[in-house]
Amino acid sequence: AQKVTQAQTEISVVEKEDVTLDCVYETRDTTYYLFWYKQPPSGELVFLIRRNSFDEQNEISGRYSWNFQKSTSSFNFTITASQVVDSAVYFCALSEANAGGTSYGKLTFGQGTILTVHP
Amino acid sequence: NAGVTQTPKFRVLKTGQSMTLLCAQDMNHEYMYWYRQDPGMGLRLIHYSVGEGTTAKGEVPDGYNVSRLKKQNFLLGLESAAPSQTSVYFCASSESPLTWGEQFFGPGTRLTVL
């Protein structure tokens, strides 16, 4: 069975600090997808990134960057120069794609990391 | 486009009462999902549907039923609500897992069972 672990329950930083959110996953499949979602205080879920298991290139989008390492089964998320608006719960999620195509895109979520950025 | 909408946004039930949560999407997506979110546990899949007229169980299906009579709607029913079903419920849809597109989430329904 697949599993996603976000060991950091809560992180508190001061504005402009860099912060890394950890995500470790378990899966027996060779083909899978990893996601990060943001849940701001308003409650909606905002898609941030999708990465497939064959693409280990790191990705940068503005102040956000993601480090995918298959060797350690990790997909970590870094926010550079954090801002108060980054305060939210961040979820890492995994979706398997087995040969029969029967995973149907079901997401397995980690427990979430609550990030608080203080002014 | 409204995207994914959920009705109602809030609801309080007494133990044993029944209710139906409605999810609607206007993106012509084939796949739809119901998740529940509980503190410290992330989101867990309740049921999902891979097309009109189909439903399947997810990780935590007990106490819930679903129906997908129309492609754009996915209903989640609680026949006899229990306090353990107090949670925030999210509906999501996706074009097709084969294209591995993102799942689009609704705004959530906060349900309290007393």
Q: Minimal CA–CA distance to A108: which of B75, B94, B58, B104?
A: B58
Q: Which of B44, B97, B107 sits opposite A104 (nearest CB)?
A: B97
What integer best gives the mean pLDDT of chain A? 91
Q: Which residues of chain A have pLDDT under 50?
A: 99
φ/ψ of B63, rounded to 5, equals 90, 0
- B98: pLDDT strictly greater than 80: no
Query: Do B97 and A95 make contact, defined as CB atoms within 8 angstroms?
Result: yes
pLDDT tens digits along B82-92: 999 999 999 99
Which residues of chain B have a CB within 8 Å of the CB of A103?
97
Query: Do A103 and B97 make contact, defined as CB atoms within 8 angstroms?
Result: yes
Q: Which of A4, A33, A37 sits opposite B100 (nearest CB)?
A: A33
Query: Do A44 and B43 make contact, defined as CB atoms within 8 angstroms?
Result: no
Q: What local confidence, expressed as pLDDT, does residue A55 receive?
A: 83
Helix and strand totals (H; E) in chain B: 0, 11
Q: Are B18 and B78 in contact (CB under 8 A)?
A: yes
Q: What local confidence, expressed as pLDDT, does residue A69 receive?
A: 93
Q: What local confidence, expressed as pLDDT, does residue B99 receive?
A: 57
Q: Are A102 and B97 in contact (CB under 8 A)?
A: no
pLDDT tens digits along A65-94: 999 999 999 999 999 999 999 999 999 999
